[in-house]
Amino acid sequence: MGSIYKRGNTWNIKYYRNGKPYRESAHAVKKSEAERLLKLREGQIQEGTFRGLAVEKTTFDEIVQDVIIDYQMNGKKSLRRAELSQSHLKEYFDGWKAKNITTAHIKTYIVKRQVEGAKNASINRELSFLKRAFSLATKQTPAKVSNKPYIPMLRESNARSGFFEHDQYLALRDALPDYVRPIFTMGYYTGMRLNEITSLEWSQVNLSEGKVSLSPGTTKNDEARVIYLSGELLDAITQQRAIKGMLYPGCQWVFSFKGQQIKRFTRSWKTACKAVGLEGKLFHDCRRTAVRNMVNSMIPEKVCMKITGHKTRSVFDRYHIVNEDDLKRASLILSERLQNKEEELSRAHFGHSSKENVVNFWR
């Protein structure tokens, strides 16, 4: 049996779980409010959902810090983005008790970020971070929160759709400095991420077999990949090996500037883009371009995903950009194919006048 008692002007409650007494302030001057809290606690104990009083004191700061620690423990490459999400959430929820964060408050936060000009994709990353914080908090021993609020996600309609047509690639490639060109070629043909390219070492390249091996830990998703080289790309890597042998024999990096690893080339990139009328293009557009070119070349999508390192079909589909020229080309190809089928069917029908031959043709 629980009880209610007064301390000063505030009502308090006392109740038991497994014989252990718990005392808690109702933070109320009205006895009825304390009675409601007591009934709530007794109901939680009866249902087995009472987590103890520690969960009542858990703060927002505690649960989001656990996410950062989780990222650090697992060596996740998106730690910097997680810290950025934490900073935005902290501006609003700093000092809050985790139990007081409700769906209504989260919706207010979403509106606040939208008013500030944040894109839906950015807000969703922050909401995903908050979801992860509550999920980890419920899995702690003992649990840090008793339940998770419903966190709505926004529809993302601001995904980039940039890519390079082949003539644009040729123009930009020729406008870039010599040391950047092979990096651009690598990105254009393979869809590799920029950091995967700039961190590539000669120990990962086998020119005799014409392949590059990306080891686990060097890729964003920590999965190994093998990429084969041919044509212009193979020529570019072979030239890089020749430069290394002649000028920088001790350099471990496939792409280097004066024997040093290349980490960024933002100014050179923007200058070249402006010179050929492609202002606003990103190096990451190469990734979308590679996916588009591979799919349009009838390469099976599973093979494309293995080359580019996409783990999920949903993300891969976002990178497969289709424009009106693709739709027009598809219509012409389909029309031509069906016309050829019709002509072949006609020849089969009149050449053999056998219904069986016509049926066998379509099989």
Give the pLDDT of residue 315.
52
Specify the higher pLDDT residue, 284 or 142. 284
In this prediction, residue 363 carries a pLDDT of 47
pLDDT at 339 over 80: no
Strand segments, DSSP code E, in 115-244 are: 205-206, 211-214, 225-228
| pLDDT value of residue 20 | 84
For 60-139, CATH number? 1.10.150
**363 three-state secondary structure:** coil
What average pLDDT does range 351-363 have in this prediction?
A: 48
Q: Spelled out in words, what is the top-level CATH class assigned to the domain 166-319?
A: mainly alpha
Q: DSSP string covering 258-324, please?
A: TTEE----HHHHHHHHHHTT-TT--TTHHHHHHHHHHHHTT--HHHHHHHHT--SHHHHHHH----H
Give the tens place of pLDDT for each residue, 201-219.
Answer: 999 999 999 999 987 656 6
Give, in degrees to the nearest 5, the angle at Cα 194 between 188 and 195. 150
Q: How much is the pLDDT for 362?
A: 42
Q: Residue 129 — very low, low, confident or very high, per pLDDT cuts 50/70/90?
A: very high
Confidence of residue 131 (pLDDT cuts 50, 70, 90): very high
Instruction: Check: pTM over 0.85? Answer yes or no.
Output: no
Write the CB contacts of 102 (distance below 8 Å, at least 6 apart in sequence). 149
Average pLDDT, the chain: 84
CA-to-CA distance for 112 and 186, rounded, in angstroms? 41
Q: How confident is residue 158, by pLDDT bands cut at 50, 70 and 90? A: very low
Write the pLDDT tens digit of every residue in 52-107: 676 778 899 999 999 999 988 887 777 888 999 999 999 999 999 998 999 999 99
